[in-house]
């Protein structure tokens, strides 16, 4: 196990096998468990900012059947209010937790906007980068991803919501820019997943529309991810605090999967897996 305060020896480790392609080849939606090691997450506050609590939660999600653990050390609360975190602080939160999560034996994704954090995590053994700004925030991110051969989750984002725009057109234009950046950096197309970023830079109505029109994103011919877990648009439809939005989360995720989503990012692994299995059984009955 890597010591949390010691530089990673394999800083230039490449992801030679595409772990996402291998998992997606199973032909079923994958479940990505969310692990926020932050004091200000919108969904679980600072429940897992303590390293031991975070590691125990990761173990629980693996036991429940998560295919991937997505670990993030900076809050990216989709409706604003999260304070920017310095590189040093993000690394301070991440280092005590990442080695133990990596030891659990399933693929680990690093949820970060910073290329330096992605570099550290990939060097330590993470195999996927989840960039909530779709390679358009840190100019070094695409280079790092390409150099490591890592799969990347490209998410649509906006600085703020604008109810007047055509949100689907905005998502398509954003993804076109991201894919151009990826191509220029040398990121293989078969290592890119698209995420429309439910709740990020979107009104509640726009988030609902994106889920309703999720199938439109199939035009990119790339795997699609949905991350609607506990998002605020659910509260607009059926008022409830974040930890009481499981029903709405499952409804949104099942709708997106029915329209092509192949990865579901969720805080509630066991319940999501059960819902996906039952939905699949109904379709095949």
Tens of pLDDT along 168-210? 999 999 999 999 999 999 999 999 999 999 999 999 999 999 9
Domains along the chain with CATH numbers: 29-284 (3.20.20.20)
- pTM here is 0.91
Could you read off the pLDDT of 86-142 as tens digits, one per residue? 999 999 999 999 999 999 999 999 999 999 999 999 999 999 999 999 999 999 999
Average pLDDT of the segment spanning 222-235: 97
- The whole-chain average pLDDT of the chain stands at 91
CA neighbor of 135 nearest in space, from 116, 152, 160: 152
Question: Which one of the listed residues 93, 148, 230, 231 is annotated catalytic?
Answer: 231
Query: What is the Cα–Cα distance from 276 to 28, expressed in whole angstroms?
Result: 9
Q: Is 231 a catalytic residue?
A: yes
Query: What is the Cα–Cα distance from 223 to 203, expressed in whole angstroms?
Result: 24
For 17, the 3-state DSSP assignment is coil
Could you read off the pLDDT of 244-263 as tens digits, one per residue? 999 999 999 999 999 999 99
pLDDT category at 7 given cuts 50, 70, 90 is very low
Measured CA to CA in angstroms, residue 246 lies from 2, 91, 210, 251, 270 at distances of: 35, 31, 19, 9, 11
Specify the pLDDT at position 12.
61
pLDDT category at 78 given cuts 50, 70, 90 is low
Question: Which one of the listed residues 148, 191, 230, 265 is annotated catalytic?
Answer: 265
């Amino acid at each position: 196990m890597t010591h949390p305060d010691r530089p990673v020896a394999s800083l230039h480790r490449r992801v030679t096998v595409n772990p996402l392609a291998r998992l997606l080849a199973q032909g079923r939606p994958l479940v990505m468990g969310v692990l926020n090691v932050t004091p200000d997450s919108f969904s679980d506050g600072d429940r897992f900012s303590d390293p031991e609590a975070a590691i125990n939660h990761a173990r629980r999600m693996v036991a429940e059947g998560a295919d991937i653990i997505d670990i993030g050390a900076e809050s990216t609360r989709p409706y604003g209010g999260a304070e920017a975190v310095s590189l040093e602080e993000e690394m301070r939160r991440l280092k005590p937790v990442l080695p133990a999560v990596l030891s659990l034996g399933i693929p680990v994704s690093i949820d970060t906007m910073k290329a330096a954090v992605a570099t550290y995590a990939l060097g330590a053994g993470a195999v996927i980068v989840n960039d909530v700004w779709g390679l358009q925030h840190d100019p070094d991110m695409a280079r790092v991803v390409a150099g490591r051969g890592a799969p990347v989750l490209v998410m649509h984002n906006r600085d703020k919501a604008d109810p007047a725009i055509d949100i689907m057109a905005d998502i398509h234009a954003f993804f076109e820019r991201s894919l151009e950046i990826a191509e220029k950096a040398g990121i293989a197309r078969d290592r890119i997943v698209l995420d429309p970023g439910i709740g990020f830079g979107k009104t509640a109505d726009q988030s609902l529309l994106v889920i309703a029109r999720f199938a439109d994103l199939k035009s990119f011919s790339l795997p699609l991810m949905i991350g609607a877990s506990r998002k605020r648009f659910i509260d607009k439809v059926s008022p409830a605090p974040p930890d009481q939005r499981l029903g709405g989360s499952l409804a949104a995720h099942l709708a997106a999967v029915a329209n092509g989503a192949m990865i579901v990012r969720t805080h509630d692994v066991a319940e999501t897996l059960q819902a996906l299995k039952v939905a699949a059984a109904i379709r095949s009955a």
